[in-house]
Amino acid sequence: MIRLSLVEDDSYLLNHLARLLEREEDIQVVSTAISAEEAIKTFDWKQIEVLLVDLDLPGASGVDLIAYAKESNPSLLAMVHTIYEDRETVFSAIRAGASGYILKGSTALKMASSIREMLAGGSPISPTIASRLIQEFQHQAEEPTAMLSTRETKLLHLLASGLIYKEIANELGISPHTVHSHISNIYGKLQAKSRPQAMRRARLLGYLNK
């Protein structure tokens, strides 16, 4: 029996998905939540095999929840279920640990088969998403992914150590205003809105291991 948990902020859709997937003989919906915060507090992460999660959640995002879930249970498999198909959202979810990415509107039969495919070692992705990924790799040489510079990486390490802007400025011999500018750029590249979120994503991308 596949132990599945659902996170979706639309309560009607959440209940609808749970009912549809429960009809499958090999799927058991063990927990549901309407936010990442609720899931973090109430889910028994060690017992979950598959996490089906929307990305646009109130509070912490679905990407943040995937990262948390993978840290809590590395063997857990996460599948995105969303309306978003833009490049940055797709790559953020994959970097966080998503093994599948399907768009809303897929049938219950398709969702169930995608879950089974993922458990069998596959990476089910909606056709339009797969097309975007192929295009991205084909143009990778022309449009390199934004990466942190050596200076930004060093500044990130200082930020991770708990230093405030003024202390970082003294350490690097620059002004606090310049530090603020660098950190804004770092947040933009990491698609982060806060220090904890930036630190979490920097660790996932390996910047804090350098």
Determine, yes or no, domain membership for 145.
no
Q: Is position 144 within any domain? A: no
Top-ranked range on mean pLDDT: pick from 49-53, 108-112, 176-180, 195-199: 49-53
Q: CA 204, CA 186: separation in Å to the nearest integer?
A: 14
Q: Do 169 and 77 share a structural domain? A: no
Q: Domain ends where: 138, 170, 194?
A: 138
Extract the runs of DSSP E, i.e. beta strands, from the chain. Answer: 2-7, 27-33, 50-53, 77-82, 98-103
Helical (H) or strand (E) element with 16: helix 11-22
Asked if 133 and 185 sit in the same domain, the reply is no
- Of 110, 138, 166, which closes a domain? 138
Residue 95 lies in a domain: yes
Report the domain count for the chain. 2
**What single letter denotes the amino acid at residue 127?**
P
Judgement on whether residues 44 and 129 belong to the same structural domain of the protein = yes
Res 143: pLDDT: 42
Q: What is the rounded average pLDDT of the residues 139-155? A: 69
Asked if residue 163 and residue 96 are part of one domain, the reply reads: no
Average pLDDT of the segment spanning 53-60: 93
Buried b (16+ CB within 10 A) or exposed e, 114-153: bbbebeeeeebbbeebeebbeeeeeeeeeeeeeebeeebe
Q: What is the pLDDT of residue 91?
A: 82
User: Taking 70 as the threshold, does the pLDDT of residue 146 lie above it?
Assistant: no
User: Which of 69-78, 98-107, 182-191, 194-203 is most confident?
Assistant: 69-78
Q: Give yes or no: residues 76 and 23 share one domain.
A: yes
Q: What is the mean pLDDT of residues 110-118?
A: 94
Same domain, 116 and 41: yes
Mean pLDDT along residues 62-90: 90
Q: With cut-offs at 50, 70 and 90, classify the pLDDT of residue 64.
A: very high
Which range has the worst mean pLDDT, 11-25, 36-50, 87-101, 129-143? 129-143
Query: In terms of pLDDT, which residue wins out, 88 or 41?
Result: 41
Q: Which domain holds residue 205?
A: 150-209
122 or 128, greater pLDDT: 122
For residue 71, pLDDT over 60 is answered with yes
Q: Can you give the pLDDT at residue 139?
A: 56
